[in-house]
Structure 1
Amino acid sequence: MEINKIGEVRSKYKEPVGPDEMRKSKSIIEVEAEYVDGLDQIENYEYLQILFYFHKSEGYDLIAKRRKGPERGLFTSRSPRRPTPIGITTVELLKREDNKLHVYGLDAVDGTPVLDIKPYASFMDHPTLSLEKKTPRYQINKLIKYQNLHDLLLKAGELHGHYCPFLALGVLAAADAMTRLDADNDGMEDLLAVVETNGCFSDGVQYTAGTTFGNNSLIYRDFGKTAVTFVKRGDSLETLRYYLKDSNFVEQKYPEAAKLFKKVIAERKGTKKEQEKMKELWQEIAFEIIEADIKEYFKIEENIEIELPDYAPIFEDQNCSKCGENLMASKAVQKVDEVLCRNCAESKYYQLDGSGIIEK
């Protein structure tokens, strides 16, 4: 059997540390000159799988302690101490500079020999596709189970569009509640989240807990507080309320970010450069918060009394006599012998926007 080294890792880490820490940093893979042609069109791929040699690893134990959790078999772990010490990690390709690949997420120390590089393809390398068809929240549940809040925040950012402190707080609270309540969510209203704000915090809650307006398990109370109560229905109600203890923590701990927020968002006066700087600071703060102890930010109350609606009713449909469009019968307006939608009837309605719930 012949194994060839095709390159080396350049990293700030000279000695092994926890893989979770190393995967939060950038590193460079320097490909040897004779293999550079093999990088042709690699820029077309966002993610790569890197195979590398644990050159500092010595010996192995078939049953061994893990960094976290009880002992178990070597082949059910990612330990670097293996009979054939080869590691594999999926990384994000940031850019290519000739023979250098700048990547994010590689848990290998400086000087690590690289054995192979392959493009990551979800349809080939994603082992959970059939499980996700059966359980749509499979990946999210797994991240919550292993308390991988870093990756949960990454995914919540896909929904929210950017990273910010309050998105991170929503993820932090929801992941903690799902663990404490031993809850899953199949979107059938057995798990509810009663949010008291319609800000960024609520998106972190919706993504992580799966409690959304669309599946009727997100209840909005227009209180203007950064708070949420999770309710697990069953033989008896289990409740957990999370309330942000200090709503001014950004101003106190991160004055530069708070100043930029006021100018860029509140006053809408920021330059393009200031907007980008604010996003950069917001991102740094969000990923700092997501690593914090939940009690640093939240007051947590258990088994509180809360008034809840029944399971969402199913309404009959009607058609507007004027525009002909279909609508829920409960939202129709009866005028003499006509059934009208609220728009055609020029009737009052309620709207949820950045101001909260307002009557229009």
Structure 2
Amino acid sequence: MSVATQNDWEQCVAFHGHECPGLAIGYRIAKAAQNKLGVSFSPDEDVVCVTENDACGLDAVQYLTGCTLGKGNLIYRDRGKQAFSFFVRSQNKKLRVVMSLKFDRDKMDREALKKQILTMPDEELFAFSEPSYDLPARARLFKSVTCEQCGETCSERNVRLHEGKQLCMDCAPDYSRGW
């Protein structure tokens, strides 16, 4: 059963906290992807979303698709783009949706832009293609390890060894050399 109903825009707004053009972008991207892939809300990891931003629209994508960080079917791939790739594991389908509408943020009327985004045809608003990368692996469960300095537990994959001790990332000294 889908969480989204005929009032799904209002529910996305309630989830996000306010109406804005960014939320409208995510709303339309999620709807377009669901229509093109023939899927709805994903209660499991069958539908996977790889987001290339952490902007407002991501809240609508999460709410409508069921793709979340906690469930492991939302992956953050920071590129600063209004782009989302969707994969349907059971059907071996994939789709990348990129915002193609150009606008000047400094000169825009936010309300008019939001209305424009909510009513434009998909083909004028987005570019559709296949992602250039493969379907990400299913989420893994890792053992918990206790940091030998602060005593807090963290995922085994985030432990750092320092002078023979297992340390969480907050306690481990930084070892970046500018790259």
TM over 0.5: yes
1:290 aligns with 2:118: yes
Alignment partner, residue 204 of structure 1: 60
Call closer, same or farther: CA 1:348–1:178 in 2, change over 3 Å.
farther
Distance in 2, matches of 1:216 and 1:173, equals 20
SS in 1 for 2:135: coil
After superposition, residues 247-258 of structure 1 pair within 5 angstroms as 247-248=102-103, 251=104, 258=106
> Does 167-176 or 204-213 show the bigger shift?
204-213
Alignment partner, residue 159 of structure 2: 332
What is the aligned length?
Answer: 177
Runs of 4+ residues over 4 Å off in structure 1: none
C-alpha contact (below 8 Å) 2:43/2:66 kept by paired residues: yes
- Unmatched segments (≥5 aa) in structure 1: 1-134, 252-256, 262-280, 350-358
Alignment partner, residue 25 of structure 1: none
After superposition, residues 31-180 of structure 1 pair within 5 angstroms as 138-140=2-4, 143=5, 148=6, 151-180=7-36
CA deviation digits over 1:169-223, x for unaligned, max 9?
A: 1111111211222213444221011222222222222222121222111122222
C-alpha contact (below 8 Å) 2:154/2:168 kept by paired residues: yes
C-alpha contact (below 8 Å) 1:342/1:348 kept by paired residues: no
Alignment partner, residue 81 of structure 2: 225
Q: Which has a greater percent of strand?
A: 1
1:247 deviates by 2.9
1:314 aligns with 2:141: yes
Distance in 2, matches of 1:233 and 1:165, equals 30
Largest Rg, 1 or 2: 1
CA deviation digits over 1:246-278, x for unaligned, max 9?
A: 332xx3xxxxx744x7xxxxxxxxxxxxxxxxx
C-alpha contact (below 8 Å) 2:69/2:75 kept by paired residues: yes
SS in 1 for 2:171: coil
C-alpha contact (below 8 Å) 1:173/1:205 kept by paired residues: yes
C-alpha contact (below 8 Å) 2:42/2:65 kept by paired residues: no
Distance in 2, matches of 1:209 and 1:139, equals 9
Distance in 2, matches of 1:283 and 1:298, equals 20
Call closer, same or farther: CA 1:343–1:139 in 2, change over 3 Å.
closer
Call closer, same or farther: CA 1:154–1:286 in 2, change over 3 Å.
farther
What amino acid maps onto 2:20 in structure 1? C
Alignment partner, residue 174 of structure 2: 347
1:288 deviates by 4.3
Distance in 2, matches of 1:343 and 1:304, equals 34
Call closer, same or farther: CA 1:225–1:309 in 2, change over 3 Å.
same
CA RMSD of aligned residues (A): 2.5
Call closer, same or farther: CA 1:304–1:316 in 2, change over 3 Å.
closer
After superposition, residues 266-277 of structure 1 pair within 5 angstroms as none
Identity, % of aligned positions: 29
Alignment partner, residue 299 of structure 1: 127
What amino acid maps onto 1:329 in structure 2? E
SS in 1 for 2:49: strand
Q: What TM-score, normalized by structure 1, do the two folds share? A: 0.45
Distance in 1, matches of 2:42 and 2:51, equals 19
- Unmatched segments (≥5 aa) in structure 2: none
SS in 2 for 1:241: strand
